[in-house]
């Protein structure tokens, strides 16, 4: 199988690393990839928002399967583009069409979907600029803190959690007047859920599903989960509180009705479903859906999958996921993200990264890196994600924080508490 992975982050590097181990693989490509994916694939330098250039590389390189990393091409209809093109429609495409991608592309759609299918989630209502007064009444009926969500994609910045009612009303008006652009034409206001978060990942062919290892993400920039929100600073898998009983509840109350709902509303949903959950006293509540894998969760999830991911993806393409069995290692994977000093606000790029050679490309995943005259340099906020696998979190942390010292670049920053809350 000749496979193309679309995207350029640590998530895509981790998927590429896993697929590259498959005996079913003939050749792997990443578009555009990064200096890390070069170790396991050929990088194709194209703009992934330009569907015609994706078509060209797929045809030129006889690609048989496309795996989409980020959400934007999916929300913008890349799968529909493939299906409606006579030269592309036979290509196995891992990712939903624009119908299914609304689960991530519209929070209002996702909430209504959960309501239609009886999936537990926070109580909510949606409002637009014509219903601001109703929104005020709804806010007054809730208790602080107040959760406001821009309906559309807002680069991970569209969720606000606000302690004070007056401020919530004022933020609501700012979102509706364009603070997040068109993404904020509609706002979901919902009840605040108290609990611990985790991410659950499902691979579905629209009928059958496999549950991938779950993970916990560390979202804030500072230790103790303080400070600004980021794309994710680290991850741990498995999540100790996601025991058998809890995961059975997740499967029965969330995964089954989600797959059933998709089957009825958006047939042929083929791809990943990322379910952001809150564990509220043992009961799972859905916070959000994404129609792709998480980053950096993927960097912890992939090293835990023992079975052949490519075999699962081929079966998914044929609608035969029921014939596949996922095997998972018992070990604990810990992922730590090294970021550029200043991130998630302003930061510098272009600093040389040293020490990479000590890892021989194993589970040191590149996120925001670039090649500059033969040297690997920083090229983003999140620069690299290092994953270790060990028998438990204590041993994993010890090894992780020893190994991280081998990598260096100017203004390197990382959290020191990954996994600490789970011991």
**Interface mask toward ligand AMP for 299-328; x: CB under 6 A:** ------------------------------
Q: Which of 159, 211, 222, 280 binds ligand AMP (CB under 6 A)?
A: 159
Would you state the structure tokens that stand for residue 329, as one six-digit string?
A: 């290692």
Task: Check if the beta carbon of residue 334 is closer than 8 Å to that of residue 395.
Answer: no
Q: Is 297 in the site for ligand GLY (CB under 6 A)?
A: yes
Nearer to ligand GLY, 268 or 297 (CB): 297
Q: Is 147 in the site for ligand AMP (CB under 6 A)?
A: yes
Strand order in the sheet with 209-211: 209-211, 196-204, 271-280, 283-290
Nearer to ligand GLY, 7 or 36 (CB): 7
The entry of ligand GLY, ligand AMP, none near residue 159 (CB within 5 to 8 angstroms by kind) is ligand AMP
Q: Is 217 in the site for ligand GLY (CB under 6 A)?
A: yes
The entry of ligand AMP, ligand GLY, none near residue 197 (CB within 5 to 8 angstroms by kind) is ligand AMP
Report, in Å, the least distance between residue 190 CB and ligand AMP.
5
| Opening angle at CA 18, ends 99 and 58, nearest 5 | 55
Count residues binding ligand GLY (CB under 6 A): 6
Nearer to ligand GLY, 111 or 292 (CB): 292
Per DSSP, 363 falls in state S
The entry of ligand GLY, ligand AMP, none near residue 324 (CB within 5 to 8 angstroms by kind) is none
DSSP symbols for 175-195: HHTTTTGGGGSEEEEEPPPPS
Considering only residues 5 to 24 of the shown chain, the ones binding ligand AMP according to CB under 6 A are none
| Opening angle at CA 233, ends 20 and 6, nearest 5 | 35
Considering only residues 252 to 281 of the shown chain, the ones binding ligand AMP according to CB under 6 A are 276
Q: Is 232 in the site for ligand GLY (CB under 6 A)?
A: yes
- Strand intervals (E) in 144-270: 146-150, 159-162, 186-190, 196-204, 209-211, 216-217, 220-222, 226-229, 234-237
Report, in Å, the least distance between residue 140 CB and ligand GLY.
31
Nearer to ligand AMP, 290 or 332 (CB): 290
In the chain, what is the greatest distance between 2 CA atoms, to the nearest angstrom? 60
Contacts of 25 (CB under 8 A, 6+ apart): 1, 3, 19, 310
Q: Is 288 in the site for ligand AMP (CB under 6 A)?
A: yes
Secondary structure (3-state) at 168: helix
Report, in Å, the least distance between residue 185 CB and ligand GLY.
22
Nearer to ligand AMP, 122 or 315 (CB): 122
Considering only residues 197 to 256 of the shown chain, the ones binding ligand AMP according to CB under 6 A are 197, 219
The CA distances from residue 258 to 61, 107, 111, 266, in Å, are 36, 15, 12, 11
Q: Which stretch binds ligand AMP (CB under 6 A): 53-61, 170-178, 192-200, 234-242?
A: 192-200
Q: Is 193 in the site for ligand AMP (CB under 6 A)?
A: yes
Secondary structure (3-state) at 230: coil
Q: Which of 290, 332, 340, 363 binds ligand GLY (CB under 6 A)?
A: 290
Residue with tokens 């050679």: 357
Task: Check if the beta carbon of residue 329 is closer than 8 Å to that of residue 388.
Answer: no
Q: Is 287 in the site for ligand AMP (CB under 6 A)?
A: yes
Which of these, 267, 298, 129, lies nearest to 199 by C-alpha position? 298
Q: Which stretch binds ligand GLY (CB under 6 A): 132-140, 288-296, 365-373, 385-393?
A: 288-296
Strand 65-68 and strand 92-94: the pairing is parallel
- Please state, in angstroms and rounded to a whole number, the distance separating the CA atoms of residues 26 and 18: 14
The entry of ligand AMP, ligand GLY, none near residue 118 (CB within 5 to 8 angstroms by kind) is none
User: Could you list the residues that contact ligand GLY (CB under 6 A)?
Assistant: 217, 232, 290, 294-295, 297
User: Could you list the residues that contact ligand AMP (CB under 6 A)?
Assistant: 122, 147, 156, 159, 190, 192-193, 197, 219, 276, 287-288
């Amino acid at each position: 199988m000749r496979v193309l992975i679309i995207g350029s982050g640590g998530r895509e590097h981790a998927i590429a690393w896993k697929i590259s181990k498959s005996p079913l693989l003939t050749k792997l490509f990443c578009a555009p990839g990064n200096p890390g994916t070069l170790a396991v694939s050929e990088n194709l330098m194209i703009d992934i928002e330009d569907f015609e250039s994706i078509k060209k590389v797929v045809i030129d390189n006889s690609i048989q399967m496309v795996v989409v990393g980020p959400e934007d091409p999916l929300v913008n209809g890349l799968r529909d583009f493939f299906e409606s093109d006579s030269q592309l429609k036979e290509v196995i495409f891992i990712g939903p069409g624009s119908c299914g991608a609304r689960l991530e592309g519209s929070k209002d759609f996702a909430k209504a979907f959960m309501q239609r299918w009886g999936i537990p989630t926070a109580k909510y209502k949606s409002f637009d600029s014509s219903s601001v007064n109703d929104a005020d009444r709804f806010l007054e009926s809730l208790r602080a803190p107040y959760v406001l969500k821009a309906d559309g994609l807002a680069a991970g910045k569209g969720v606000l959690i606000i302690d004070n009612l007056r401020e919530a009303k004022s933020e609501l008006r700012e979102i509706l007047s364009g603070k997040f652009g068109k993404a904020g034409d509609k706002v979901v206001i919902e009840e605040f859920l108290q609990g611990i978060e985790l991410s659950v990942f499902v691979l579905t062919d629209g009928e059958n599903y496999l549950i991938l290892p779950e993970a916990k993400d560390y979202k804030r920039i500072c230790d103790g989960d303080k400070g600004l929100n980021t794309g994710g600073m680290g991850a741990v898998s498995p999540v100790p509180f996601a025991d058998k009983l809890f995961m059975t509840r997740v499967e029965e109350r969330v995964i089954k009705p989600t797959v059933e709902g998709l089957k009825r509303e958006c047939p042929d949903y083929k791809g990943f479903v990322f379910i952001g959950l809150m564990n509220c006293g043992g009961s799972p509540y859905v916070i959000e859906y994404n129609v792709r894998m998480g980053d950096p969760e993927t960097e912890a999830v992939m090293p835990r999958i023992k079975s052949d991911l490519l075999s699962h993806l081929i079966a998914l393409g044929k609608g035969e996921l029921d014939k596949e069995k996922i095997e998972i290692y018992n070990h604990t994977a810990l992922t730590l993200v090294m970021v550029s000093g200043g991130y998630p606000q302003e930061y510098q790029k272009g600093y040389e990264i040293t020490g990479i050679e000590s890892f021989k490309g194993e589970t040191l995943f590149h996120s925001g890196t670039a090649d500059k005259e033969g040297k690997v340099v920083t090229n983003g906020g999140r620069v690299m994600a290092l994953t270790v696998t060990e028998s438990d979190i204590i041993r994993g942390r010890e090894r992780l924080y020893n190994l991280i010292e081998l990598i260096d670049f100017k203004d390197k920053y990382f959290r020191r508490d990954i996994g600490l809350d789970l011991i």
